[in-house]
Structures are given as structure tokens and as C-alpha cells.
Amino acid sequence: MNVVVCVKQIPDPAAPPALDPGTNNLSRTGKLILDESDSYGVEMALQLVDAAGSGEVTLVSMAPNGETSGLRTALAMGAARAILVSDDALSGSDALGTAKVLAAAIKRAEPDLVLAATESSDGYTGTTPVQIAELLGLPSVTFAKKVEVTGDSVSVERQTEAGYDEVQCPLPAVVTVTAGVVEPRYPSFKGIMAAKSKPVDTLTVADLGIDAGQVGAAGARQEITGVSAAEERGSGEIVVDEGDAHERIIQFLEQLKVL
Amino acid sequence: MSIDKIWVLAEVADGKTVTASLELISHATTLAGTVEAVAFGDATAAVAATLGEYGATKVHDVGDLGGALPGVPVASAIAAAVASGAGPDAILFPATYDGRDVAGRLSAKIDRPVLTNVVGLAEDGGALVTQHAIFGGTQIASARFTGEGPGLFVVRAKSFPAESRGGGPAEVVAAPAPDAGSTNAARIVARHVEERTGPKLDEADVVVSGGRGLGEKDQYAMIEELAALLHGAPGASRAIVDAGWVPYAYQVGQTGKTVKPTVYLACGISGATQHLVGMKNAKNIVAINKDQDAPIFTVADLGIVGDVHKVVPKLIEALKTRG
């Protein structure tokens, strides 16, 4: 079974984020890392391929400047290869433009299953995987907390407000996985060394046969018109616990008539 | 260009319209002359009165989905209306599991982009301008569509109050989904309701959330116990959801839920921007953290610098004693 995992390389969340002053788009210069949200999809894909006994995991990603450092992390975990779409024309893409590019790249890998995170940690639009499914003409199951493949269908436990639904879906399909549902493996030293020589196909928009006017800032039909400071919330009273801080909390709750 | 008509996806759970949809319907009446709802499932007729009361004059009923996940059939029904020219100028979706699915499917079907994580929506010069909380809610970005409509907007819960507009029942019109072929192949084969006592996380008056500072999964039990004693709902930071301690449905923050309770108790949560954006608009915030420099204290009305493993059990004991 061949599984494609959509992965995103994002600015380190530990570093303070910034907007590009010209476009108000999120600044993605500098080193990018594998979005932690995607590590669950990578781990799940590796487990599903293991269970199937054959096939491989292909990463599909879109990033500026041919960036591969985040992809190498996922390759070190065990993915076999990566398809990276990198093109200056992609800068400023909206979610639908991104979905068009990723869908075209995924098609090349002819997967049985496409996994993605429910949303990225930087842009967190949360619609790209479903847009990809529609563009590829595939069914989709979102917010999976458990995924099992049997023959040519996938069973998913899908998160709901009340609990979860058991969902059955024929393959090929797109499934988005929520965080925390599997424990992503740490790349071994051997894995890290092997990742250096794993194939990363770097493609341009033209390679995918996509009209550059459909993607990037040219194809984006939305714009950020301004950014302003939100109302600040001041900090209040600080109490250092000396064994009786719970009494202060109770007093506070009483004042609010919660108790 | 002016905004004549807005449609709102009205989700129904347990025979009632979800609050997030009512928030959107009542807010939409301030933006457009006509507000209509789109609903699916077998309870549309039963909620027509409520939808009307909050401002929808009509409800387009996709009907029972026969076990299909809503994304494809509901988007197909809306896309058919858009193609026939009977569609609205804008469509608002609550940022729920199904709302996001329908919006994403529809976006690709009609080739229109979608703006998500909307927290404010206003009319400006005949077009809709959105607001998005970014960088932990410290800044607000405004955005708008530049191309042809309809505009698709996925709006976070609690962005607007749900207010009765005193309208009569909405007229129910059938809007069956055209056949979407194999894209509509996912089927719900069983539903599991996890037993939960107390209010829902995004509707609770009191929310007690736990974070990495709890140290280990088993310690989350005290968060649930404290939440129950305060008749509130338990929540969580992303860190412990990622670690697999609690399900995604518990997550408060940027990639989780937005809550605005009367009191938010953050226990062992440092206050990463990811978390703050989901809870900083609570009316009152109490934080317990052993690190006095934790960012959570910059938004707390009452900050306790202390060990959650000491403070929370004492708080639980004291509340039990009060009975």
C-alpha cells in the first residue's frame, strides 16, 4: 500500500512570528522545520505500510527556496521519498491555490491513501486537505483519531462533539489525523544518515502543468487589508503560594458568584 | 456590489441548532437584507422556528444524508444553487468539524477561496471585511476577498452573540444534494457518544484546563474533578493533546476551541500564544503555574505562583467541604 503524507515545513514555532511588511503574509524566510502536527500523519503512514506488509510512504510538500530540512526529518523517521514543489510563483498562495499544487503533485505518486494533519500550526486554515480531496475526486474523512486499512477500504474513528463516529470509506481516500493519536518515533541515527540520500523530487509549477496565474499571489483572491494591535488584557493580582493560595481562589470565585 | 443575501450553515445536534450557527444567523442580519439557513439531517422542520427566531427567513433543507459524512453532499447542494444563480453573496460556516468539511469541499467545487478562523465580520463599502486573531490574539488582521463571489467564511464560535431577532418560523424548502459519485463514499457505520456529565466546553460558564505542568496523564483526573465541582467543563492545552493524554475535542486554543467562560482556570499551563488565543477573552482568568515568568500570568486576573499538585488538591478538598 502506498501512502502519501502531506507535510508542511514551517518557521520554528518557538521563534517569534512576523509578517512580511510588504504583503502582510506570514514571513517564511529562514530555516523551516517539520510541522509537529504532521509528525502524527507520518507515523501513522509508516505503521499502516508496515501492517500492509508492502508499499512505501511518500511525502508531498510545498515550500519556498527548495527548503528540505523539515522533509529530511520525516525521511529520517522512515518515509521513502519526497516530492517538493518549490517555485517563486507560489509565494502568497491561498489555501485553495496550495491545494491545487499539492493535488497535482499527489496525483503523480498514485497513492492508495493520502494522510494530512487537520491543520497546520502556522497558518491553521484547516481546509486544504478537503480541497485536495475534491480536486482529486476522492472521498475524505477528517479528524481521525484511529485509522485502520482492511483490503481496499479504510475504517476511521472520527472525532465528533459528542464522542466519535466509526466511518468506513473505500480507497483511495484522503484522511486527516488529529494530534496525539499515535506517538511519532524519534529518527534513529541510522535513519538520519539514510535520509540524506533519499530521493527528493523538486518540481516547479510548470512541471505540474499548472498555470502560474492560478496560484501564488497572482491566483489568490483574498488579501490582508491591515493589521492592528488587539485590545490588551492587563495582568492582575499575583499570589505566591505559601500553602493557602487555594483560599484566595475560593474567595475570588465567591466574588464572581461562581460559588 | 452590495450584500443582499447571506446563507448560514445551520448544524443541528440532538434536535437543536448548535449555538455557533445561531450566532452567525443573528449576526448576518446586521450585514445583509436577507438571511437564509442551509440545514441537513432529519430535524430541519423541528428547528425551523428557532432558525426563524434568530433571523433566517428560509431554510434550504438538504435532508437526510443516509449516513454520509456531510461535507460532500451539503457542499454539492450549495454548489448546485450557486451554479443556478440562486446562490447568496456570502456563505458563513461555523468552525465545527462538519462546517469546515463543507466549506473546504464547496471552495474546491465552485473554485472560490475560503477565509477561515474569522473572529469578526463587518460590511465596508458593500463588501465583507473579516478579522482574524493572529500571534496569540495580540494582533488583529483584516482581510477580504478580491475576486468574484460568493465569499466563503468559516467563523470561530463565540465571535458574535446569539441574539433573538423575533422572527417567525423559517420557510423550509427542499434542496436535495445532486449525486456526487464516488467522492461521497464515506459512510458513518456507528456513532459513539462518550459519557460526559456537565456542560459543553465551549458553552460552559466555568472552564478548568490542564497543561504540561500536570506532569503525567493520570494527573488530568484532578482537572476533571475540579471542573465537576465547579459545574464546569474540563479543557486542555495543545501540549497534552499532542502527547495523547486527552482527545482533540478538549483542546482550547488556536488549533482547538475558543472559549469565553465567566471563569477560566488554567492549571499548569504556561500560556503559549497557541493557547492564549483561545481563552484570553474569558471574563476572568485564574492561573496556577510554578514558573512566575510564565506568559499565562500576563493575562491572569488572579495568578497563583505555585505547584498545581499542591494547590489543586487543596482547592478540591475545600470545595468538597463546602458541599
Which of B117, B149, B184 lies at the terminal end of a domain, its last residue? B184
For residues B136 and B53, membership in a common domain is answered with yes
From the number of C-beta atoms within 10 Å of its C-beta (0-12, 13-18, 19+), residue A13 rates as middle
Whole-complex ipTM: 0.94
pLDDT tens profile B196-221 = 778 999 889 999 999 999 999 999 99
For residues B223 and B120, membership in a common domain is answered with no
Fold entry, domain A3-219 = Rossmann fold (3.40.50)
For residues B297 and B157, membership in a common domain is answered with no
Q: Which residue of A has its CA nearest to B286?
A: A249
Note the pLDDT of residue B121. 97
Cβ of B120: how many Cβ atoms within 10 Å?
16
What's the rounded Cα separation, in Å, for the pair A235 and B136?
16
Note the pLDDT of residue A13. 82
Q: Tell whether A125 is within 8 A of chain B (Cβ).
A: yes
From the number of C-beta atoms within 10 Å of its C-beta (0-12, 13-18, 19+), residue A92 rates as middle
For residues B49 and B150, membership in a common domain is answered with yes
Please tell me the distance in Å from A86's CA to the nearest CA on chain B: 21
Residue A34 in this model has a pLDDT that exceeds 90: yes
Note the pLDDT of residue A123. 84
A117 in Cβ contact with A124 (< 8 Å): no
Note the pLDDT of residue B203. 87
Which residues, 6 or more positions from B283, have their beta carbon under 8 angstroms from its beta carbon? Answer: B260, B261, B262, B263
What's the rounded Cα separation, in Å, for the pair B236 and B242?
10
Q: In Å, what is the CA distance from A175 to each residue of A129, A156, B213? A: 8, 8, 32
Note the pLDDT of residue A48. 98
Instruction: Give domain status of residue B200, yes or no.
Output: no
Residue B130: φ, ψ to 5°: -100, 160
**Is A168–B298 a contact, with Cβ atoms under 8 angstroms apart?**
no
Q: In Å, what is the CA distance from B196 to each residue of A22, B30, B35, B193, B200? A: 49, 36, 35, 9, 9
Helix (H) or strand (E) holding B241: helix B238-242
Helix (H) or strand (E) holding B251: none
Residue A108 in this model has a pLDDT that exceeds 70: yes
* Mean per-residue pLDDT of chain A: 94
Please tell me the distance in Å from B167's CA to the nearest CA on chain A: 29
> Residue B32 belongs to what domain range?
5-184
- Which residues of chain B are modeled with pLDDT < 70? 1
A19 in Cβ contact with A26 (< 8 Å): yes
**Is A138–B183 a contact, with Cβ atoms under 8 angstroms apart?**
yes
Domain ranges for chain A: 3-219
For residues B73 and B149, membership in a common domain is answered with yes
Please tell me the distance in Å from B136's CA to the nearest CA on chain A: 10
Residue A75 in this model has a pLDDT that exceeds 60: yes
Note the pLDDT of residue B10. 98
What's the rounded Cα separation, in Å, for the pair A60 and A104?
10
Residue given cell 494533519 in the structure block: A117
End-to-end CA distance of chain B: 60
Note the pLDDT of residue B312. 98
Residue A142 in this model has a pLDDT that exceeds 90: yes
For residues B304 and B255, membership in a common domain is answered with yes
3-state secondary structure A19-65: ECCCCCCECCCCCEEECHHHHHHHHHHHHHHHHHCCCCEEEEEECHH
CATH number at residue B279: 3.40.50.1220
What's the rounded Cα separation, in Å, for the pair B237 and B278?
10
**Is A137–B182 a contact, with Cβ atoms under 8 angstroms apart?**
yes
Residue A30 or A242, more confident? A242
A98 in Cβ contact with A62 (< 8 Å): yes
Note the pLDDT of residue A30. 74
Residue A118 in this model has a pLDDT that exceeds 70: yes
**Is A169–B286 a contact, with Cβ atoms under 8 angstroms apart?**
no
